[in-house]
Amino acid sequence: MSHGVFFFVVILCGAVTFSERGSFLLFQGGKEPHPRLAKALRLVPAAVLPALITPALFMPNGSLDISLSNPRLLAGVVALAIALWKRSVFLTLVSGLTALWVIQWLTA
Binding residues among 33-72 for other proteins as defined by CB under 8 A: 33, 38-59, 64, 72
Q: Residue from 83, 102, 106, 107 that binds other proteins (CB under 8 A)? A: 83
Output the CA–CA distances (angstroms, integers) from residue 82 to 14, 66, 72, 100, 108, in the order listed. 33, 21, 15, 14, 25
DSSP letters, 49-100, are HHHHHHHHHH-TTSS---STT-HHHHHHHHHHHHHHHH--HHHHHHHHHHHH
Question: With binding defined as CB under 8 A, does residue 20 bind other proteins?
Answer: yes
Q: Residue from 30, 61, 69, 106 that binds other proteins (CB under 8 A)? A: 30
Question: With binding defined as CB under 8 A, does residue 74 bind other proteins?
Answer: no
Question: With binding defined as CB under 8 A, does residue 106 bind other proteins?
Answer: no
Which of 66, 68 has the CB closer to other proteins?
66
SS3 93: helix
# chain residues binding other proteins, by CB under 8 A:
69
Question: With binding defined as CB under 8 A, does residue 98 bind other proteins?
Answer: no
